[in-house]
Amino acid sequence: MVVRFNGGAQAAHNVVAPDGRHHTFAQFGSGTFTPGVLTHLSRFMLVDPLALAAEADHLRALGVPDALDRLTVDGDALLTTPYHRAANRARESARGAARHGSCGMGVGETASYALAHDDAPRAADCLSPARLRRRLAAVRDWYRAAFPDGEDVPGADACAEAFTAFAERVRIVGPGHLPALLRAGSAVFEGAQGVLLDEWHGFHPYTTWSTTTFANAETLLAEAGASAARLGVLRAYATRHGPGPFVTEDPALTADLPDPHNGTGRWQGAFRVGHLDAVALRYALEVAGGVDGLAVTHLDVAGARPDLRVCHSYEMDGGRVGRLETGPPDLDRQAALTRRLLAARPVYAPLGDPVETIEDALGAPVVLRSHGPTSTDKRADHFRTPIDLSVR
């Protein structure tokens, strides 16, 4: 099974099957192409029923007719509505040139609305039509009051009807469901977004309203009396989608290394490419609490690009910096760090063997190597967990 432990419909995990089928997984677990693999959306997910239905339709067209049958949703998961999405786009548009690079899917508005309103709609509300409609109407009224010139949105009755149909199609479960699942078999806890976009540890304000470290997964595991190996995933070079600090960005690499599944988006902005950034990666590992192993992707690209480099330090604040300071949640500190990074300059060395360079720079073993988009292009190496990561 796959357990989703953060984010929402803005996630974009591209999977290419050996037979060429491609799907961008957002809310379904990335193992859904494999028959019988379950997806559980935990209480830390922000569930968008309309986007989920559209994703299920695309999977059905690819020969996966039972994705919804294999899905369970924690009743306490927040619901993202068309009103949250419209508010997200209105707020981002109002920022003009100072846009944060939102995906425009309403995730941040869903989280912020819930912080301010105890009656924010949740998945379990879909089982109580009257309460659901009342809570949806409140969100719609909030949106209209905040953005009177915002885009048109459906009425609360129409939205409630669609969300009720969602509840009739999927299993909405209580807190005891996940521990039972974990006792029954192996699980992959799948996160969304990189650590440098974390709501508290990322480069504010170019971040997501979601905890992107292992923290949510570890909370769920602790509640179930279970544990897991921690796997970090990175490319052999650096990328960023949308605005924000990117010390090793290289316009030539951006031009030469387009990503077929990550283009310029209306809301998120441009897909940007740069050289491997060991400083940023060390920071990400530290705020995430470390890893048991690393998976490195796009090694085929690195093998074909001898011009790729690695940045071991920055020229910043009048000197050389090889480590970024970490600390408890403090958005003012993170905003100050962002300003410093926007002025930083990379100090480069040749990349050499990317796996050796990454292991030396980060002090963690590379246990999964990816030389292409499909599962047949992956190679496991000395990773010992209850889940066999080797590809047969």
Q: Are 129 and 161 in contact (CB under 8 A)?
A: no
pLDDT digits (tens), the chain, 392 positions = 999 999 999 888 999 999 999 999 999 999 999 999 999 999 999 999 999 999 999 999 999 999 999 999 999 999 999 999 999 999 888 888 777 767 778 899 999 999 999 999 999 999 999 999 999 999 999 999 999 999 999 999 999 999 999 999 999 999 999 999 999 989 999 999 899 999 999 999 999 989 999 999 999 999 999 999 999 999 999 999 888 999 999 999 999 998 888 877 777 778 999 999 999 999 999 999 999 999 999 999 999 999 999 999 999 999 999 999 999 999 999 999 999 999 999 999 999 999 999 999 999 999 999 999 999 999 987 665 555 544 44
Which residues is 319 bridged to in the sheet?
Answer: 316
345-350 and 271-274 strand pairing: unpaired
Residue where the block lists tokens 């796997």:
231
3-state secondary structure of 187: coil
Percent helix, strand and coil across the chain, each to the nearest 5: 35, 20, 45
Q: H or E element: which one contains 366?
A: strand 366-370
Query: Which long-range contacts (C-beta less than 8 Å, at least 24 apart) are formed by 283-286?
Result: 283/196, 283/323, 283/324, 283/326, 284/194, 284/195, 284/196, 284/232, 285/195, 285/232, 285/362, 285/364, 286/326
3-state secondary structure of 359: helix
In total, the chain counts a number of residues equal to 392
- In the chain, the N- to C-terminal Cα span, in Å, equals 19
Residues with Cβ within 8 Å of 341's Cβ and at least 6 positions away in sequence, in order, are 203, 245, 247, 314, 316
pTM for this predicted structure:
0.93
Residues with Cβ within 8 Å of 347's Cβ and at least 6 positions away in sequence, in order, are 311, 312, 313, 314, 315, 320
The C-alpha atoms of residue 197 and residue 166 are separated, in whole angstroms, by: 30
- Residue 107: both structure tokens together: 């995730």
Which residues is 240 bridged to in the sheet?
Answer: 272
What burial letters (b/e) apply to 260-277, b meaning 16+ CB within 10 Å? eebeebebbbebbbbbbb
